[in-house]
Amino acid sequence: MKTSWSLVALATVALLMGCSSAKEDWNKATSANTVASYQDYLNKHPSGEHSSDALDKIHSLEDDAAWSQAKQANTADAYREYMQKQPAGSHLKDAQEAVTAQQRAAD
């Protein structure tokens, strides 16, 4: 009986440590706010409480980086590349407007 309680206690401690680790890893990821930090969280906790949040953040950061590159290049081709790489991107309307404006300016 004593062994059973010891195993239950050990399992409980391990579970609590795992939860703490996942929470700490999430806090680290959000503090860093980089694709790499969220990917690290997902590698360690693929089914974790914040796994869908981590994926959302990765997509958002990648979208913002692609948009920043397109804006920096400021060419119709760069905006088209953004639209191709980020078909559900949050800057699609802006990219389409930029392409239209550049085409009008070229005419």
32-89 tens-digit pLDDT: 999 999 999 999 999 999 999 999 999 999 999 999 999 999 999 999 999 999 999 9
What local confidence, expressed as pLDDT, does residue 97 receive?
Answer: 97
For helices 51-73 and 35-44, the axis angle rounded to 10 degrees is 160
The structure's pTM equals: 0.77
Residue with tokens 């195993």: 7
**Which of 26, 47, 29 is closest to 37 using CA atoms?**
29
The dihedral built from the CA positions of residue 64, 66, 67 and 73, taken in this order, carries a sign that is positive
Say whether pLDDT at 20 is over 70: no
What dihedral do alpha carbons 13, 17, 20, 25 form, nearest 10°?
-170
